[in-house]
Amino acid sequence: MKISQNMKALVLEKIRKPLKLMELPIPRPNSGQILIKVHACGVCRTDLHIIDGDLPNPKLPLILGHQIVGTVVAAGDNVRGFELGHKVGVPWLGYTDGTCPYCRSGRENLCDNPLFTGYTIDGGYAQYAVANHEYCFAIPEGYSNVEAAPLLCAGLIGYRSYRLAMRDGDAKRLGIYGFGAAAHIITQIALYQGKEVYAFTRPGDRKAQEFALRLGAVWAGDSNQKPPKRLDAALIFAPVGAIIPIALRATSKGGAVVSGGIHMSEIPSFPYNILWEERVIRSVANMTRQDGEEFLRIAPMIPIRTEVTTYPLEDANKALDSLRRGKIEGSAVLNISD
């Protein structure tokens, strides 16, 4: 494959500013890295949190994007397992030190010295990207580029959240607050495993509620509504702290309320009795490579289908704006090349 000298990229120069279309030199892969021609890159709520300055110390200037689907077009030294022409996926976790106490105890998602794609290293809102091959995944068969992109964060971190919420194998009724990219994927896993899904959306968002019902949720309503039955577990994908006490109130004894996002508005105080009886609140941070391997093995078996709204690379700001306004059904994805 012939590689030209420059590439187009959408660049965040300063926080709270729109991304700027720029012509940049194509990066060169260092040892252990692969150079990827980017076909598609998913747009995630975390990208909004980075733009808004909710997350500390992003690399600046920065190329956002941590759900990259592309083809390997060059490789540095010491790359194993990926050949030129292979289709690869690049997720949020871009590097870990492998030596800190968290890495050594199988919790690399909590690494003390991590790097994150599209946050502390450049991501995929560009025609090319480099990535450490040890953190890349093979893309399962049966998915187009744009359909595969949301599997890499919405799917993968959603799956980790789901697994932690349903740690009690008997849990049946799952509430999902915030019915966007992650929720539409996790609903399919939950149904496949014989669970019931209760979908909660922004108050009055009938379109999202219909979307949830169409996917097989047994009930859909406003986030401040009480579900018809008590939930065994709740997942929160909306960045709204006020939902935590609401979800606790809807959850039965011993149930878990799991927040899947990286940032949330402040949680209001609440009485102890809604937490009592061994209810649990927990967050989910990042992902391990094991989460990725496991999820990408399961996805084609179900098979998980993703609903995507695509935008050309140049329209990344438009995609982000639609996501911010809750206008995306399923996932927003940049369609960058064939």
* Contacting residue, 71, 96, 145, 161, with Zn ion by CB under 5 A: 96
Report in angstroms how near the CB of residue 260 gets to Zn ion at its nearest.
Answer: 10
Dihedral sign from CA coordinates of 239, 242, 243, 248: positive
Are the CB atoms for 158 and 217 separated by under 8 Å?
no
Cis peptide before 91 (omega within 30 of 0): no
Q: How far apart are CA 313 and CA 296, in angstroms?
A: 25
Tokens of 217: 């949720």
For residue 256, which amino acid is it?
Answer: A
Give the integer Cα–Cα distance in Å for 85 and 246: 49
Segment contacting Zn ion by CB under 5 A, of 40-48, 73-81, 289-297, 302-310: 40-48
Q: How far is the CB of 114 from Zn ion (least distance, A)?
A: 7
> How many CB atoms neighbour CB 245 within 10 A?
18
Secondary structure of residue 46 in the 3-state scheme: helix
CB contact set of 2 (below 8 Å; sequence gap of 6+): none
Q: Which stretch binds Zn ion (CB under 5 A): 15-23, 99-107, 132-140, 273-281?
A: 99-107
Q: Which is nearer to Zn ion, 189 or 231 (CB)?
A: 189
Are 65 and 47 spatial neighbours (Cβ–Cβ below 8 Å)?
yes
First-to-last alpha carbon distance for the chain, in angstroms, is 13
CB of 101 to Zn ion, least distance (A): 8
44 is a site residue for Zn ion (CB under 5 A): yes
Q: Is 103 in the site for Zn ion (CB under 5 A)?
A: yes
153-212: which residues touch Zn ion (CB under 5 A)?
A: 153
Nearer to Zn ion, 171 or 181 (CB): 181
Alpha helices in 70-180 (DSSP H): 101-104, 145-148, 154-165
Mind giving me the DSSP string for 309-325?
Answer: EEEEGGGHHHHHHHHHT
* 71/286 with CB nearer Zn ion: 286
> Binder to Zn ion among 97, 205, 294, 307 (CB under 5 A)?
97
Region from 46-54, 71-79, 125-133, 275-283 binding Zn ion, contact rule CB under 5 A: 46-54
Closest CA to 59 of 121, 115, 114, 3: 121
Tell me the window of 82-90, 94-102, 167-175, 214-222 that interacts with Zn ion (CB under 5 A).
94-102
Q: Please, which of residues 109-128 interact with Zn ion by CB under 5 A?
A: 111
* Among 33, 46, 145, 209, contact with Zn ion (rule: CB under 5 A): 46
Number of residues that bind Zn ion (CB under 5 A): 8
Q: Interface with Zn ion includes 259 (CB under 5 A)?
A: no
Q: C-beta of 89: minimal distance to Zn ion in Å?
A: 13
Q: Identify the residue among 100, 267, 274, 280 touching Zn ion (CB under 5 A).
A: 100
Q: How far is the CB of 105 from Zn ion (least distance, A)?
A: 10
Say how far apart CA 227 and CA 171 lie, in whole Å. Answer: 16
- List interacting residues with Zn ion (CB under 5 A): 44, 46, 96-97, 100, 103, 111, 153
